[in-house]
Amino acid sequence: MTSEANGIAADSGAQERPRLKFKIDVDIVVVGAGLAGLTAAREAARMGASVILLESRRVGWNASGNNLGTVMPGYSVPVEEIIERVGFEDTRDLWKMSEEGVDYVRAAASDAAMPLTDGVLEVSNVDAGEQLIRRLQMLGSDFGSDVEGWQVDRVRESLKTRRYFHAIHFPKALSIDGRQYVHGLAALAEKAGVRIFENTPVLRVDPNGVRKRVYTPDVMLRCSDIILAGNVHIGAPAQRLHGTMMPTWRYAALTGPLGEDLAEAMTYRGAVTDSDGVDQFRIVDGDRLLWMSRETTWQGDASRHARSARSRIATIFPQLGKPEISEAWSGVYGQTVHGMPQVGQLRKGMWVISGFGRQGLNTSAMAGQLVARSILWGDDRWRLFSPFELVWAGGTAGRVAGQAFLSFSRKKSAAMGLLSRVRERSQARAVARERAREIRLAKAKARVEADRERAAAAMQRPNENS
């Protein structure tokens, strides 16, 4: 059975929370009950603030509740590009903060007694050993990260496919059940004192004055600080913010049980992501594959993309064929033009944590914790994100261009991967030819030596007879 969880399907068994229908004054109002908003609300409450969290639909109804659950350090922008923009020292600090996000998710999962799997393997679609060495040098030596370089043989011993070459292993990264985590985080936030109201859209905010105003369909709230933690659906409360994000749908599929075939195709138990961001997958329930691939800037039918996932699995692991898909779903996230999350203060008392498309769970955790500390403790590290300002995403034209870029990137990745595999096969054939030549030369040499030995023996026999 295939179900599209682009909405309430992911929340079918979740706790229902009331709509806000009474006036209240609090320290902080958080708008948006996704991963970032839940983290910010929970941390602010743990620091002693009174917090209201408003969600227009249900907790985790969109991308936050429909993610693969991969938690690893870093951002969607390559480290080298961040260095070009903000310099080495600030990039190193940003990387450290992303690692703090990983630690936060691990601790929160532990607090909620959630199972997790250690390790994330970032595999390369192309044969780029020198680039891997440079990246390992930067992450390991310069940034102090816990990383391991895997050679091609080790990668292919763990993943029985010739599509991948070298890899970087993050042993302290992890993967969790994304749906379980968002609802577990909501429970932790409520335990800390956060009051969560669902089906309560925010119509507008008035950030002027010491006490800000937040307007909902039924009541008006007052607070000292507002945190906008919405995705592309933030809409009315922050039209300017809404316009800076390109809505992008990503599709996931869960196969049926694959039995021993999966064990023979893949022995690595952590999450796997390729260096081009095309495919992410991991083993769940012992013998099933959870697979995420394909992005569109328009909402598509998840069941249709399930067929695409089947084909993609067969391409990477031909020995699995095209497995049956038991469930498929999609979620839309906001992707910024510069590729970095939007974290910081828009104006006094008005904060934003958004734009986590392709960033991973670590960044939403880091941003939520950081902004809570900024409000209550004066932590000013949010300024590290200031160079990544709000940039208009181009509206409909931007979405068309974005889809074209996504398609181009996938085709480029496929072409580069094919080129690497062709080169590898050519090298293998060249090595085989050279080996065959060496064997022929060795045999010829052996024949010459044998002929010489026979000739010498024949010359000795007449002398012996005499």
Q: Where are the alpha helices (DSSP H) in 142-225?
A: 152-158, 178-192
Q: Tell me the per-residue pLDDT of 213-262, one tens digit each, with 9 for 90 and over.
A: 999 999 999 999 999 997 766 655 555 665 677 788 888 899 999 999 99
Where would I find the beta strands (DSSP E) of 233-358? 245-255, 271-274, 280-284, 288-296, 325-336, 342-347, 350-354
The one-letter amino acid code at 424 reads: E
Where is mean pLDDT largest: 19-23, 306-310, 385-389, 392-396?
A: 19-23
Rounded mean pLDDT, 420-437: 58
Q: What was the pLDDT predicted at 260?
A: 94
Cβ atoms of 199 and 57 within 8 Å: the answer is yes
Cβ atoms of 390 and 65 within 8 Å: the answer is no
CA gap 161, 193 in Å, rounded = 49
Q: Tell me the per-residue pLDDT of 172-224, one tens digit each, with 9 for 90 and over.
A: 999 999 999 999 999 999 999 999 999 999 999 999 999 999 999 999 999 99
Q: What was the pLDDT predicted at 427?
A: 54
Where exactly are the structural domains of the chain?
1-69+177-244+337-391, 394-466
CA gap 321, 216 in Å, rounded = 51
Query: What does pTM read for this prediction?
Result: 0.81
Higher pLDDT, residue 197 or 454:
197
The one-letter amino acid code at 213 reads: R
- Mean pLDDT value across the chain: 84
Asked whether residue 320 carries a pLDDT value surpassing 90, the answer given is: yes
The one-letter amino acid code at 146 reads: D
Higher pLDDT, residue 250 or 269:
269
Backbone angles phi, psi at 328, to 5 degrees: -140, 145
Rounded mean pLDDT, 120-126: 93
Q: Tell me the per-residue pLDDT of 48-71, one tens digit each, with 9 for 90 and over.
A: 999 999 999 999 888 788 788 999
Q: Give the residue from 257, 244, 308 showing the smallest Cα distance to 285.
A: 257
The 10 Å CB-count burial string (b at 16+, else e) for 380-400 is ebbebbeebebeebeeeebbe
Asked whether residue 4 carries a pLDDT value surpassing 50, the answer given is: no
Q: What was the pLDDT predicted at 2?
A: 34
- 272: pLDDT confidence band, cut at 50, 70 and 90? very high
Residue pointed to by tokens 């292993």: 169
Q: What was the pLDDT predicted at 390?
A: 61
Rounded mean pLDDT, 367-375: 97
Q: What was the pLDDT predicted at 100?
A: 97
Asked whether residue 316 carries a pLDDT value surpassing 80, the answer given is: yes
Rounded mean pLDDT, 376-400: 71
Q: What was the pLDDT predicted at 393?
A: 40
**Count of Cβ atoms closer than 10 Å to residue 428 Cβ:** 10
Q: What was the pLDDT predicted at 127?
A: 87
Q: Tell me the per-residue pLDDT of 322-341, one tens digit each, with 9 for 90 and over.
A: 999 999 988 888 778 788 89
Asked whether residue 412 carries a pLDDT value surpassing 60, the answer given is: no
Rounded mean pLDDT, 363-392: 90
Looking at CATH, the fold of the domain delimited by 1-69+177-244+337-391 is given as FAD/NAD(P)-binding domain (3.50.50)
